[in-house]
A and B are shown apart, each in its own frame.
Chain A
Amino acid sequence: MSTNSQPTSGAAIAVSGLTKTFGPTKALDNLHLTVGTGEVHGFLGPNGAGKSTTIRVLLGLLRADSGTAKVLGGDPWNDAVALHRRLAYVPGDVSLWPNLTGGEAIDLFARLRGGFDRKRRNELCERFDLDPTKKGRTYSKGNRQKVAIVAALASDVELLILDEPTAGLDPLMEAIFADAINEVKDAGRTVLLSSHILAQVEALCDRVSIIRQGHIVESGSLSDLRHLTRTSVQVETVRPAAGLESLPGVHDLSSTNGKLHFDVDTDQLDGIIGHLHGLGIRSLVSQPPTLEQLFMRHYGEELAEATNGSSR
């Protein structure tokens, strides 16, 4: 599959062959990742897959064992200070100083980064319904998250690196966050959005990379990836559809009350529908492939392996 796309010079993020071990644990295993300038790139994977480790290498906080990484054309370890002027980061679990207010923390992050827009900052505080006068230790998880999000969005930067930024946000705030990311996209900025909320990634991202056990297993545009997935079909035919299971691309065939249910590889859809047409279609319901299915397919295998008792 399209995992080993070579880093291109115009990319905002270009990572190639990245490996990082922590003692016996291999956190990153020959990881390749390319994020084009101006795109919103979804970075998907379950807990412990290596998303945060990758991001912390991109921020120059962790040093990789081998492989190369380029962020905005620079080396994240050696050019950290210069690069950080051009990017903003939202960690997945924001800890704030207990005795600083949220407003002070926002100003601190945004102003130390430079290119700070006070009007935009106040407007964002209002949009996210954040009280900037409360002390860090009195905020809930969601509100701490908002502090980091507002600080990142109030900065005039080229690249936003967001590590599960909406963890702890309520659905209303998630919608506001989505609006804000769409504005960022319209302004031509690049976003790397790590998440495991698939609906959010589907709604916001142009391209997606899926990481599993420190390795990218799928990468491409959403439509590319959909192409690789299966469409669910529920059909009722005039004549019995015998032998359907032997056709290429058909999976998980079952029937209830004379209706057939099956999944079909999306690139085989045309042939299957042609075959069904010959049998006389009475009713047909088809569901487009979702990212969730793709995701479940990759991690479902992992689950199956784990339950079969194979060691991790």
Chain B
Amino acid sequence: MSTMTMSRPAAQAPGRQNSLAGTGTLIRFMLRRDRVRIPVWLIVFALVPIGTLSSFAEAYPSAADRMATAQSMNSPAALAMLGPAHYFADYNSGSMLMHQLFAFTAMAVGLMSVLLVVRHTRTEEETGRAELVRATVVGRHANTAAALIVAFATNVVLGLLIAASTATSDMDGITTSGALLFGAAHTAVGIVFAALAAVTVQITGYSRGASGMALAGIGVAYVLRAAGDVGENGLSWVSPIGWGQRTWVFVDGRWWPLLLSVALTVVLTVLAVILSTRRDVGSGLRQARPGSPAASDLLVKPFGLALRLHRGMLIGFTVTVALLAVAYGSIFGDIDEMLGSVTALSDALAEQGGVLIEAFLSMVMLVTAVTVAIYAVLATNRMRAEELAGRAEPVLALPLSRTRWVGSHLAVTLLGSAVMQLIGGALLGYFAADATGDGALFGKSIAAAAAYLPALWCTIGLVVLLYGLRPQWIGLGWLVPVWAFGIGYLGNILGLPTWLAKLSPFGHVPEMPSEEFSLPPVLALTAIAVALIAIGLAGLKRRSINVV
């Protein structure tokens, strides 16, 4: 009886209201589930401006120091990595903060938003929990609406916190209105990618796929603005990160580019709602099609199974790395043009032209290697995912040793990451050589890519070690790409000591072609990788399976 009385109000309510029934309860439920996660993200974001500004105060005490930095930053590599040259017009502490940090923090805000939305929508459906919720008095759009409201509200709070944290600094160039715009620029990026994730979770039935698509969107936005900032060709105007950067915060601030973000957010939200009505709960837009009734001869070998399980991720990341290389490769033409105008001015700079190109190549190679490292960590985590899902157990109850099982996954991961890295190097080298007319760059680029392989093996080795000895801590493997990128990216800006970079295997890779190749670190990294994998395997042989 009680259930009947409870369902009556919803049943009587007409159409539109009906589809949002229960949204408020779901919002409270999501906030309850994220009561630790969201505050941690917010606190970290709030600390970043204060921390960065105080390190600026030490590293660049005077305006002259900042001018010198601005001049050194006016290179294709730095522009592609950080942001447009307009900020050099008034390189005060505030505009320096925006120019050097925003591309990075904007991607992190996007990451937070995507993970938040996917976690509360597709993951819930995939695990079947959404079915239980939807069977109660909850409208069709309530879950999507609640997830987006939580994501939007989180981004608004995040923007305010960033603004407040920035405004507390009394350094030159920091104004309250500028700080507010700085925070709002972050909010604008966050809501776009939250809405994008709301769309991708409608398309695919897998949370991993939905996150992957939305995160690829962030990557595309970053690369487009990189190409636009170097080439001055308007590409930055199709990137939400580019819109944020075009607010010229702390230089001659303007709010209107953020309207583009708001408009795109509305469009994506409407699209998500339309798509969500065209699919069933638990499935994506694409219906599952029947497949092969029998396994191929390859699939029934451990390596074949691993290859099949890794296929989607392998293809997705290879395409991402290839696109990254093509996008960056195409920037070389712009660099060449830019340098051409410079060389007319001075012969000394002409000599530097080659150096700048090689520095840019080294920088792009680091970005490529970190992307491949993200793949390597994800792919190595696959074994743990298989174990937690209960799929490792029946496989290990077959006449298949744990070493062979791990070996099959590792073979795919090691080969896959090497192939990706070399494809990235080759494509980048091809475009660089083509654009600059310097054919030697092709070989240099491939060699530079290959130099990163031992560091990638070390990354994989660390995850295997954690998996074998302390599977609960396997998430620590993420420290390697995060550290490599964070330090490689922020280390120079913040003037951090070089030993910090040396904590990561990536800090020991010779940054070719800017640096000379050096054999000892390559050999040492390879030896460490072998040792890490061996210890991890020994640990796995000793421990119980399905340890949660």
Contacts and interface: CB of A to CB of B under 8 A. Distances in A.
Interface of A: 56, 59, 61-63, 80-85, 87, 89, 91, 93-101, 103-109, 111-114, 131-135, 137-138, 148
B355 interface: no
B312 A99 contact: yes
B28 interface: no
A132 B293 contact: yes
B390 A101 contact: no
Interface in B530-548: 542-546
B396 A61 contact: yes
B400 A101 contact: no
Contacts of A108: 295, 299-300, 305
Contacts of A89: 394, 397
Given A99-B312, A103-B294, A137-B205, A109 B398 contact: yes
A35 B400 CA distance: 25
Contacts of B206: 98
Given A84-B398, A99-B312, A148-B394, 7 more contacts: A61-B545, A89-B397, A91-B394, A100-B308, A108-B305, A132-B294, A133-B290
Interface of B: 205-206, 288-295, 299-300, 302, 305, 308-309, 312, 389-391, 393-401, 542-546
Nearest to A101: B291
A56 B294 CA distance: 28
Contacts of B205: 137
A112 B390 CA distance: 18
A60 B390 CA distance: 15
A61 B399 contact: no
Nearest to A151: B394
Given A61-B546, A91-B390, A97-B391, A135 B399 contact: no
A91 B393 contact: yes
29 contacts: A56-B393, A56-B544, A56-B545, A62-B544, A80-B396, A81-B400, A81-B401, A83-B399, A84-B398, A84-B400, A89-B397, A91-B394, A93-B390, A97-B391, A98-B206, A104-B292, A104-B294, A104-B299, A107-B299, A111-B300, A112-B302, A112-B398, A112-B399, A132-B294, A133-B292, A133-B293, A135-B288, A137-B205, A138-B288
Given A103-B294, A109-B398, A138-B288, A61 B393 contact: yes
A78 to B, nearest CB: 10
Contacts of A82: 399
A95 B390 contact: yes
Please give me the 8 A-B residue pairs with the lowest Cβ-Cβ distance, nearest first.
Answer: A107-B295, A133-B290, A101-B291, A85-B399, A103-B293, A111-B300, A89-B397, A132-B293
Contacts of A62: 544-546
Contacts, number: 108
A143 B44 CA distance: 47
Contacts of B302: 112
Nearest to B205: A137
A135 B291 contact: yes
A130 to B, nearest CB: 10
B292 A113 contact: no
Q: Which DSSP category, helix, strand, loop or mixed, fits chain A's interface?
A: mixed
A89 to B, nearest CB: 4
Given A81-B401, A108-B299, A111-B300, A61 B293 contact: no
A43 B302 CA distance: 32
Given A91-B390, A97-B309, A103 B295 contact: yes
B294 A109 contact: no
B400 A109 contact: no
Nearest to A61: B545
Contacts of B400: 81, 84, 112
A252 B300 CA distance: 60
Contacts of A83: 399
Nearest to B398: A112
A63 B546 CA distance: 11
A112 B544 CA distance: 22
B542 to A, nearest CB: 8
A91 B396 CA distance: 12
A230 to B, nearest CB: 40
Contacts of A101: 290-293
Contacts of A59: 393, 396-397
A61 B401 contact: no
B397 A107 contact: no
A107 B294 contact: yes
A113 B293 contact: no
A82 to B, nearest CB: 7
A282 B256 CA distance: 101
A84 B397 contact: yes
A212 B401 CA distance: 32
Contacts of B393: 56, 59, 61, 91
A96 B545 CA distance: 17
B391 A96 contact: yes
Contacts of A61: 393, 396-397, 544-546
